[in-house]
Every structure is written in C-alpha cells, then in structure tokens.
C-alpha cells in the first residue's frame, strides 16, 4: 500500500477534491471519477488527484503562470500610457507609466466545491516585488478581491502604493471570516518606474500566489495507482482508507478512466511476392508492416488481400490496417507478384515418319503438350523444328518451354526419323518388233513412266528383260522399285512382241526334231562350263547374247552330241544361247553365277 500526504497536481493544474458536506472539516471523500485521454506517445496518462480529509494545509497555487514561464499567458495586461508589462527573467516588469496585470481565478479550477468554500476556509494571497534598475524606487500595488458568482465583491485586500527597494519583498494577506458565496478571486498588481524612461525599468513581480486551506489527514491507498503516476488505458479503480486526526476511519473509491486518444501510425512497405509451384503466393500483414508505431504496444495487423495467384502478376495495391484495440489506421503498399518458377518439360523420345514430300514437321505444341507450368505456358520450341529424309535415324533436338513470365526450361531429346512409305510405281505398256537376231532386250526405264519416292529411289528391276520368238504376243512384266530405305513397290506392264519381218523360223529341224525338246543345257545356272546336249540333232552354230541382245560369243559346231563351252570369264547375269540346226533355231536362257 502507498501512503500519500495530500500534494499539488503539478501536471494538470487540476486538483480534484472531495465535496466536504455539512461544513465539517472531518468529512472525507475521494474525487469523482476521472476520465482523461492518453498522453501523446504514452500508453496511458499521467494523472494526479487529491483525496481530501480533516485538518488544514494549503491547496495548489491558483494563479496561472505566476512567474512568466509561459509569457503573458493567463494575464490581462492594461496600461493608460506607456508600454505594457513584459516578462523579465523569472517574473514580470512594468514600464514608465502606471500599468496593471490581472487575472480572475475560478475556484472550481482549484478543485474547490461551492459547499466547501461556504465553510469559509482561509485564503492566502502573496506576491514578491522589487524595484527595477537603475532607480529602484519604483511604485508597486497589489489588490486582491474575493468575488461571488456574479463578480460581486465580498472582500478586498490592497497594499496601496508602496515604494520598491533593490531587494525582493513579499506582500501577503490571509482572508478569514469573509462572507459566504466566494466563487472567484480577482488578483491584480500595478507598477511604474521612477525614471520615466521608455522601455521597461519599473516595478518587478514574481511568485504570485493564491491558495486555499484544505483539510489534512492520513490517507492510505489500498487499491489502484498512486497520484502522479501513469495510468494505463482502461479503467483503474482506486480505493483509499482515510484516517483523520481524531482517528475517524473512512474509505472511498473512484475510477480513473483513460481512453486511447492516439491512433497508430501505420507505415507500410512494398513487397515482392513470389508464386510457388502451384501458382499461389501468400502474404502476411507482417510482411507489409514497416515498423508502424503507437503509444501502446499491443498492435494487431491485417491485410485486405493476403493470397495472390497467376491472375495477379504485376503490381497490386493492398491496404494494411493497424489497430491498437481502440483506434485503427491504414496505409497502402504495392505487392508485386512475380513468377520465378520455370515450366516442367514432359517429353518422350519420339519416332516420326517422313511425309510424302520427304519432310518431318515437328509440331512442338503437340509433342510438348504434357509440359506444365504453375501459371501458363506461352511458347514451345524445338530446334531444329523440321527434319527430312537427310535426317533418317536418331536426331538430337533441343526442346524449350517458356511461360508467360519469361521463365524457360530446356532439355534435349531424340527424334528418330523413319521412312515407311513405299515408292509409287507408274508403268507404261510398250510394243517391240523382234530384230533379225530374234532377240530383243528392254530395261527398267523402258517400263517406268515417272515412278517416284519421298526419299529417293535406290534401284529398279524387271522380272523379264529379254524377249525372243517365244515371247511373240503380249507379255506381262513386273517392275520392282526399291527406295533408299529399302521400301519396295511393284507395278506391271504389257510388253507386246511382234515379228513383222517373220524372222522367227519353225523350231522343228529338217530331221523332224523339235529343237526345244531336243537340246538340253546343263548345269544351268552355271559358274563356269556349260554343256549343250543335242543328242542326234546336228547343231550348226551357237551364239551367246547378253540381256542387251549384244552378241558376246559365237562358235561353229556342225555336229551332234554334247558341246561344252567355258563361261567362267562371263560376268554373272542372264545370257541367251541361240542354237541353230539346219534352217531352224531355238533360244535358251542361261544363268551365269
């Protein structure tokens, strides 16, 4: 518990006294409840109060600005001629003609109730004065009036005109036994200088004082906070036990209610929010707060928007609210939402077939469609973006996926180019006339009529290239085309063989033998020697032709039986043997390996 002897409220100049009832100086009472706004930059208010009791002591000084610390505040300055009173050091000084300074003190501002003043407590007035230099014999006068509510004068004290000296003197008076109804005190000092100089060289005053006698007692505070301390925001209940000089004990209670009159100073800072892998960024109010201040420390913060997505990329204005529980202030900031997450490439090695033109166009959007990004993919690129028959087989390509914020991912992949397109075979029918040798050959280009392939043709082949008398009429031939990648296609054509000159004789000899049946060739195919077995048929001559109907060998026989010739020097291929017997001949096909 705190023991308090009644004291002056030096901070507010406001003393709250108990109402003393029935004119008894032994009655005690706490002040009424006090409501006050918090001090600047404090989470509370410095509050002074007075709990009154029996006995007698002096109240706080009721004179406002008694020493000139606040200039001429509180005083009414008047003069008939010459300059006014001014502040000089820790007091006031008059000028070269008689001039006055005065103020009217409302006793309620000193905490005096009407009921208490009607108990006629002693009122003490005083003031110090001295002469100004160089002539200190200046004139001074103090006049104090006790007035009623309507400014009616109930009692007066005056020093009259006195002559100052070079030392401070005190004028004082105690009012007692005055009429009831005193509510105000008129306080006035008058002075002028002895030199009558321009400026301020007259009488000087300081420590102007008006006090009222108040009861004293021993006061013990049992709950609450002592006078002159800082009371927190909210309600503080103060309880006192008051023991008078005659040991009469009473208790009283009052509340000090401090309201928070200072709003927080909200200070926000800009912030950059980075989207996560799901395209979301969460911002806390603490990220935006930039050391906001308040007289109290129990601040809470909130943001009007805390979650951002890909749709918020760029600058976003948010509002930070700062609350101390009573007052709320706001500040705005810019949250810049950025995306720093690169796309995730989803791509598998691919096998792509060249088209009919021999090209491969890589559709990156399709191949990379499974790639993902936390926001959105802007572009897909593959380099090189196109391939052709020249790139058959595996090819390493670079794939890049870029999102709308410019983040990109790059990887390498393998695209295997294949050609499964067979050549397109176009043939033409032809008609040929046998020459005198009765053997004619054709090549693939004779049958081909503009065949093509997307990656180029490697080879042509015909199943039949040489025609003899045996082929007179229509013959179906097959043209086989193989492209550069092993794909093949076939087409047929009609080769019509004619013998307009009747070069083809009968195949029955003069002996009546059928040459086709009578002559046997073996081994066929052969790698070297080949035998012609004519039996009893007399063979006159044998001629050998290649597939171009070019005569490559000829020898006379003129005998029957078996004839052997060596073909080991011949290139591998198809050859034709034209065998003559009398006026007939036959053509046999020989394969040289």
CB contact at 8 A, 397 and 383: yes
Q: Answer for the pair 531, 519: CB distance below 8 angstroms, yes or no.
A: no
pLDDT for the residue numbered 21? 30
* Same-domain pairing of 527 and 560: yes
Verify that 51 and 87 share a domain, yes or no: no
Q: Determine, yes or no, domain membership for 11.
A: no
Instruction: Provide the CATH number for the domain around residue 463.
Output: 2.60.40.10
> What pLDDT sits at residue 585?
82
This model's pTM is above 0.75? no
Residues 83 and 208 in one domain: yes
Question: Which token pair is 330?
Answer: 């706001």
CATH of the domain at 542: 2.60.40.3080
Q: Does residue 16 lie in a domain region? A: no
Kindly state the tokens that stand for 575. 């050859």
Among 289, 319, 338, where does a domain finish?
338
Taken in order 111, 114, 116, 119, the sign of the CA dihedral is positive
Q: Which domain holds residue 367?
A: 344-416
**97 and 175 both lie in a single domain:** yes
Do 158 and 204 share a domain, yes or no? yes
What pLDDT digit, counting tens, does each position of 284-340 carry? 999 999 999 998 888 999 999 999 999 999 999 999 999 998 899 999 999 999 999
SS3 470: helix
Which residues is 14 bridged to in the sheet? none
DSSP reduced 3-state for 117: helix
Domain count within the chain: 6
CB atoms within 10 A of CB 182: 24
Please check whether residue 421 is in contact with residue 353, taking contact to mean a CB–CB distance below 8 angstroms: yes
Looking at residue 363, which CATH number applies to its domain? 2.60.40
Are 170 and 280 contained in the same domain? Answer: no
For residue 423, tell me if it sits in a domain.
no
Q: Where are the extended beta strands (E) located within 52-159?
A: 57-58, 76-79, 86-88, 91-93, 99-106, 123-130, 139-147, 153-158
Residue 223 resides in a domain: yes
The answer to whether residue 7 is domain-embedded is no
In angstroms, rounded to a whole number, what is the distance separating the alpha carbons of residues 221 and 218?
A: 10
What pLDDT sits at residue 308? 97
Higher-confidence residue of 550 and 162: namely 162
CA atoms 191, 194, 196, 197: torsion sign: negative
408: in domain = yes
Domain for residue 208, yes or no?
yes
pLDDT tens digits along 488-529: 999 999 999 998 988 886 554 444 456 777 889 999 999 999
Residues 413, 102: Cα–Cα separation, whole Å: 101
pLDDT over threshold 80, residue 152: yes
Instruction: Choose one of 313, 338, 363: the last residue of a domain.
Output: 338
Strands 2-4, 307-309: pairing kind: unpaired
Residue 321 to residue 287: CA distance in whole angstroms: 13
Give 545's pLDDT tier (boundaries 50, 70, 90). confident
**205 and 228 both lie in a single domain:** no
Which position has the token pair 């400026």? 199
**Are residue 553 and residue 453 in the same domain, yes or no?**
no
Share of the chain above pLDDT 90, in %: 53
Q: Are residues 404 and 472 in the same domain?
A: no
**Strand 34-37 to 249-259 pairing:** parallel
Same domain, 129 and 197: yes
Cα 23 from Cα 439, distance rounded (Å): 164
26-76 tens-digit pLDDT: 344 678 899 999 888 788 888 888 776 544 578 889 999 999 899 889 999
Count of beta carbons in the 10 Å neighbourhood of residue 107: 22
- Whether 300 and 372 map to the same domain: the answer is no
Residue 586 lies in a domain: yes
Q: Are residues 227 and 203 in the same domain?
A: no
Kindly report which listed range (205-209, 238-242, 545-549) carries the lowest average pLDDT score: 545-549
């Amino acid at each position: 518990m705190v023991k308090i002897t009644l004291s002056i409220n030096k901070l507010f100049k406001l003393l709250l006294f108990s109402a003393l009832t029935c004119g008894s100086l032994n009655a005690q009472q706490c002040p009424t409840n006090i409501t006050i706004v918090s001090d600047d930059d404090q989470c509370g208010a410095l509050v002074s109060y007075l709990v009154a009791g029996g006995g007698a002591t002096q109240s706080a000084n009721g004179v406002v600005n008694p020493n000139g610390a606040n200039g001429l505040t509180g005083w009414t300055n008047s003069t008939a001629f010459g300059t006014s009173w001014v502040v000089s050091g820790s007091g006031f000084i008059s000028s070269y003609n008689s001039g006055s300074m005065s103020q009217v003190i409302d006793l309620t501002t000193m905490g005096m109730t009407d009921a208490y003043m009607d108990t006629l407590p002693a009122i003490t007035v005083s003031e110090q004065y001295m002469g100004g230099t160089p002539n200190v014999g200046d004139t001074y006068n103090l006049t104090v009036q006790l007035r009623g509510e309507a400014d009616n004068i109930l009692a007066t004290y005056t020093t009259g005109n006195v002559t100052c000296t070079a030392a401070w003197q005190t004028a004082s008076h105690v009012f007692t036994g005055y009429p009831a109804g005193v509510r105000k005190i008129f306080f006035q000092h008058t002075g002028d200088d002895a030199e009558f100089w321009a400026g301020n060289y007259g009488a000087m005053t300081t420590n102007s004082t008006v006090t009222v006698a108040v009861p004293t007692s021993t006061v013990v505070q049992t709950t609450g906070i002592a006078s002159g301390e800082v009371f927190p925001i909210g309600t503080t209940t103060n309880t006192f036990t008051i023991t008078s000089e005659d040991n009469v004990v009473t208790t009283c209670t009052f509340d000090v209610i401090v309201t928070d009159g200072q709003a927080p100073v909200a200070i926000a800072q800009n912030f950059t929010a980075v989207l996560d892998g799901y395209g979301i960024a969460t911002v806390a109010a603490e990220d935006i707060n930039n050391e906001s201040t308040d007289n109290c420390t129990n601040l809470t913060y909130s943001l009007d928007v805390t979650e951002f997505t890909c749709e918020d990329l760029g600058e976003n204005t948010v509002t930070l609210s700062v609350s101390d529980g009573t007052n709320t202030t706001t500040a705005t900031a810019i949250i810049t939402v950025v995306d720093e997450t690169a796309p995730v490439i989803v791509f598998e090695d691919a096998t792509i077939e060249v088209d009919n033109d021999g090209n491969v166009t890589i559709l990156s959007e399709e191949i990379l469609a499974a790639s993902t990004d936390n926001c959105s993919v802007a572009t897909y690129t593959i380099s090189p973006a196109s391939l052709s028959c020249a790139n058959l087989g595996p090819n390493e390509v670079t794939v890049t996926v870029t999102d709308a914020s410019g983040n990109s991912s790059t990887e390498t992949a393998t695209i295997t180019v294949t050609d499964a397109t067979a050549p397109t075979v176009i043939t033409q029918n032809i008609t040929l006339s046998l020459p005198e040798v009765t053997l004619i050959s054709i090549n693939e280009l004779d049958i081909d009529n503009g065949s093509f392939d997307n990656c180029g043709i490697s080879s042509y082949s015909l199943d039949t290239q040489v025609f003899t008398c045996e082929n007179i009429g229509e013959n179906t031939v097959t043209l086989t085309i193989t492209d550069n990648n092993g794909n093949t296609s076939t087409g047929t054509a009609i080769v019509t063989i004619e013998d307009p000159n009747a070069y083809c004789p009968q195949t029955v000899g003069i002996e009546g033998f059928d040459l086709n049946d009578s002559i046997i060739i073996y081994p066929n195919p052969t790698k070297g020697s080949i035998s012609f077995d004519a039996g009893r048929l007399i063979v006159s001559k044998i001629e050998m032709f290649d597939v171009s109907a070019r005569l490559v060998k000829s020898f006379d026989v003129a005998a029957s039986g078996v004839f052997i010739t060596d073909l080991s020097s011949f290139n591998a291929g198809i050859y034709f043997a034209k065998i003559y017997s009398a006026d007939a001949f036959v053509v046999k096909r020989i394969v040289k390996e």
